Amino acid sequence: MHLAQDAETAPCHLEHPGLRCRLAYARSEESRGARQPGQDYVACRRTPSGMTFALCDGVGESFIGNVAAQLLGDDLVGWLAHRLPRSLDHAQARVALTDHLVSLTRAATQRILSERLPADLPPMVLGVLREKQAFGSESTFVCGRIDVPGHVFPHGRLMFAWLGDSRLRLWDARSERTAEFGKTFVTAERWSSRRGPVRSQPHVFVAPLLSADGRLTASRVVAYSDGLADLDARAASVSDAELQALMEASRSRPSNDDMSFIEIQIDAHRATTPRRKWSVPRLSNLVRRGAC
């Protein structure tokens, strides 16, 4: 499931036994006024044991950053669902993801170079765009996978990875744990369609979902792009109405940016091996039909 880049999506929900996911999306006023897609992209996918998600923010100075964000986001949720190593080893996950991000550049470069440029552009503008196209497209990202306790992972698993300055925050039942990620959300770091990871390998966090004594180590994870920086000062979860109002207020500012948001809440009493049949996802407040 992903949210469209060319429309606004008010908070909507997707559920899995033990997990409840909420997503929202809004373009900047500049993109809306020009009827252009936003540079952000957000997606999530249910797996037999939990969920994967990705939130990507295309770099506006690069060539069609929105395409890089979508391409990378779709690839990450698929890779996490099917190819993430079945272990709790941090180093193994980081190496595997780094290798994959490098290998993705071949298909990504072909995709970017296949984009046609308008033939009626002024020669100078066309020349600049061709230079950008040759250099490639870039995007930051935050992604992750949550496995509820089951046969493969008796204590469940949390795996998060990121490059760039999009936010990733984590709470347990008592307090926020985000400080454990370190000062690693660096604006200059990103993924390039031509070069792969730029300025750093992806940062990776891996941990069991349940502690040795059965306590839940995570109750909520939130990711959002820098367009929703107002959330930095908020520790408590906001309601759908509060989130929508915050997005509307942010969009009215002169320096507004695209806004993407994903939150996954983990229920300690339901975080067990899911049934064979999926629960029916509950959707609410959709602005665009079929967005979720």
pLDDT tens-place string over residues 149-177: 998 899 999 999 999 999 999 999 899 99
Beta-sheet pairing, 50-58 with 138-147: antiparallel
Mean pLDDT, all residues of the chain: 88
If one compares 291 and 13, the residue with the highest pLDDT of the two is 13
Region for residue 100 given its phi and psi (left: phi exceeds 0; alpha: psi -120 to 50; beta: otherwise): alpha
Single-letter residue type at 244:
Q
Specify if 107 maps to a domain.
Answer: yes
82 has pLDDT over 70? yes
290 has pLDDT over 50? no
Specify if 234 maps to a domain.
Answer: yes
Specify if 61 maps to a domain.
Answer: yes
Q: What percent of the chain has pLDDT over 90?
A: 70
24 has pLDDT over 70? yes
Specify if 271 maps to a domain.
Answer: no
291 has pLDDT over 50? no
51 has pLDDT over 50? yes
Cβ neighbours around 159 below 10 Å, total: 22
Q: What CATH number did the domain enclosing 177 receive?
A: 3.60.40.10
Specify if 241 maps to a domain.
Answer: yes
CB 54 within 8 A of CB 141: yes
183 has pLDDT over 90? yes
**Model confidence pLDDT, tens digit, residues 195-248:** 999 999 999 999 999 999 889 999 999 999 999 999 999 999 999 999 999 999
What is the enclosing helix (H) or strand (E) of 73?
helix 65-82
CB 40 within 8 A of CB 164: no
pLDDT for position 41 = 97
Specify if 285 maps to a domain.
Answer: no
**Model confidence pLDDT, tens digit, residues 255-272:** 789 999 999 999 855 655
Q: Is 82 exposed, middle or buried (0-12, 13-18, 19+ CB in 10 A)?
A: exposed
| Max Cα–Cα distance, the chain, nearest Å | 67
Distance CA(81)–CA(43), nearest Å, equals: 12
Distance CA(188)–CA(248), nearest Å, equals: 28
Specify if 287 maps to a domain.
Answer: no
pTM for this one? 0.88
pLDDT for position 84 = 97
Instruction: List the domain range (segments joined by +) for residue 88.
Output: 9-266
Q: How many structural domains are present in the chain?
A: 1
Specify if 2 maps to a domain.
Answer: no
